[in-house]
Amino acid sequence: MTDREPARGTGGPTRVAAIDCGTNSIRLLVADVRTGQGRLARLVDVHREMRVVRLGEGVDATGRLSPGALDRTWHALAEYAAVLRGLGAVRVRMAATSATRDAQNRTDFVAMVRGVLGQDPEVITGAEEAELSFRGAVGDLLPDRGPFLVADIGGGSTELVVGRLRADAGGDGPAVEVTGRASLDIGCVRMTERVLRGDPPTPDEVAAARTWARETLASGLDGLPLAGVHRFVAVSGTATTVAAAALRLPRYDADRIHLSRIPVADVHRVAADLLRQPRAQRAVHGYMHPGRVDVIGSGALILSTLTDLVAARTSVDEVTVSEHDILDGLALSLA
């Protein structure tokens, strides 16, 4: 990736930085944001980076962020801070999600971030997370293809949001309209630590995980306005990894994955394959990030279950996978 010179000057794009610190990974986006009156702002990527730090390791069982997890996150954040300053970002927003919301000692995390970044992180609610994920996910889609259901399967939680794009909001009105959202305490790290402990998981573990996923996801979908939804969009590392497997990519290729449309049957096939494979076999796939090897079975199971439930409630029989998500939503919010 080539880093560009900072965008400066009146009337031009603004260089911003967004950091998303989730249960499994911490990610950085530095981008130039361009705005148009009454329309969606657009991002021009300058630098993207992701590191698996597993901040939420053990939080489901202990209720606390461990010293080791905080240390791993500190090292990654310190390097991110140097990058965004070197690239001339003039606005920065950092969000922390499920693991930090759940932790009893989240003040330790906040103090650590303040010391490194010079500002506090936003420990955002599930509703805020859902809206930011939606805005990032649908920015490259045509407005007339909505309404959209967006799912963000994270390490500790899954966010569901329904909404639409407004092609021209007029004046300075919002171009994204959210009509329903749900934040559910189910994610790939939480499920792996709680249920899918085997390598590979046992049939009984898989059955228990499916029951938990179906009951939790169904309750979330039941409260959403799904009538008229035309496209189901999945974001996050779980979704992009499943897409890479479904597309039989020899290595990870973000350009081929972004906005790929994966039939429900292929999602089920990939999930079944990953759940049968021991971790050593998952690790040899060229598209697999090392930090996802142990949790991808859980994530794929959640996505597979969700596609079934969505297909039963709508006419959608495929998943559109987006490389853009809450990280892009955070950056766009700085426009």
pLDDT for 34-58, tens place per residue?
Answer: 865 545 678 899 999 999 898 988 8
In this predicted structure, the answer to whether residue 97 has a pLDDT above a threshold of 70 is: yes
Q: Are strands 14-21 and 25-34 parallel, antiparallel or unpaired?
A: antiparallel
Any residues with CB less than 8 A from the CB of 250 and at least 6 apart, and which?
286, 287
d(CA 105, CA 86): 31
pLDDT for 164-196, tens place per residue?
Answer: 887 654 444 447 789 999 989 999 999 999 999
Give the pLDDT of residue 7. Answer: 46
Assigned token pair, 275: 């759940």
d(CA 39, CA 174): 8
Q: Are 29 and 162 in contact (CB under 8 A)?
A: no
In this predicted structure, the answer to whether residue 10 has a pLDDT above a threshold of 50 is: no
Assigned token pair, 83: 């990058």
Residue 161 has phi, psi (to 5 degrees) of -145, 140
d(CA 215, CA 108): 34
Give the pLDDT of residue 244. Answer: 98
pLDDT for 261-306, tens place per residue?
Answer: 999 999 999 999 999 999 999 999 999 999 999 999 999 999 999 9
Predicted TM-score (pTM) of this structure: 0.84
Give the pLDDT of residue 129. Answer: 79
Taking the chain, what is the end-to-end CA distance rounded to the nearest angstrom? Answer: 23
Considering 19-33, 120-134, 160-174, the range whose residues carry the highest mean pLDDT is 19-33
Assigned token pair, 117: 């970044």
CB-side exposure of 123: number of CA atoms within 13 Å?
17
Give the pLDDT of residue 58. Answer: 85
- Domains recognised in the chain with CATH numbers: 14-126 (3.30.420.40), 141-326 (3.30.420.150)
Give the pLDDT of residue 40. Answer: 60
